[in-house]
Amino acid sequence: MARQTIMVGDVEMCVACNMNALMDFLQERGTDDFSALADVSKLKPSDMLPLMAACLREGERLEGRECTITAKDLGAIADFGLLNSFMEIFGKTMVPAVSGGEKK
């Protein structure tokens, strides 16, 4: 998968929406139920910043960089543009593109 990045404030950060990030997010929420992540449109607003923080920490870890960003940190700098950028990446990761056209 191609490297995905977003601008967080004035810093370009890598985003990785992989199993490590998802499990960290779920663990922080005290659950291991993936059903909350199955439909991106049903994510609660209170889930977005913790999910983004987990995916940023994992993306930066994969790049070999230390990252301790939290949902609280993101809340201080996030706007709807940042949330939208992240949710586009997350949505594409959770719903892979279908190749080969329509079935008949």
Q: Is 99 domain-assigned?
A: no
Q: Is 38 domain-assigned?
A: yes
pTM: 0.86
Query: What's the total number of domains in the chain?
Result: 1
The span from the CA of 86 to the CA of 21, in Å, is 13
What pLDDT, in 10s, does the model give residues 49-91? 999 999 999 999 999 999 999 999 999 999 999 999 999 999 8
Q: Is 65 domain-assigned?
A: yes
What pLDDT, in 10s, does the model give residues 4-59? 999 999 999 999 999 999 999 999 988 888 887 777 777 888 899 999 999 999 99
Domain that holds residue 61: 4-94
78: CB partners within 8 A, 6+ apart: 49, 52
